Amino acid sequence: MSYCTRSDIEDLFGPLNVAKWADLDNDQDAAAIAARVARAIEVATAKIDDRLRGGPYSLPIVGDPPTLVNLAASLAGLWLYESRGVQDFSPETGVPMHRLRWFSEQAEKTLKDLRAGVLRLDVTLVGQGTTAPIVVND
């Protein structure tokens, strides 16, 4: 089960950026790019589960709350971007910088807030599970 799709990542970062970041060999091989995006989604989903394990949510989280989808898309996009070893520089100062630092900081904050219960998803909590309704015949 994945927490986002390729289109979720593209909605956040743009399809051209996602394709460029996923194209490690710069050969525009659509199959390789698709496989790389799928791997990014897998890594992002695992990271979320790993960080939330032992917390308030039953894992894997079922449903697609927008906060979770956005978090997974952010993490997947960051993984694609960073895996290229991209080094950006400030045009004003020439100092190295991470162009997607804000996304990274927001993702980390969201994970911490979800784990601590400061931010809550409308999904099944640990111990709730799913139960069948009780039928009483009078």
Predicted confidence (pLDDT) per residue in 73-95, tens digit: 999 999 999 887 766 777 787 77
pLDDT of residue 131: 38
- Give the pTM: 0.84
Q: How far from chain centre, in Å, is Cα 31?
A: 21
Name residues whose C-beta falls within 8 Å of residue 107's C-beta, 6 or more positions apart in sequence. 71, 74, 75, 78
Point out the residues of the chain with pLDDT beneath 70. Answer: 86-87, 96-98, 128-138
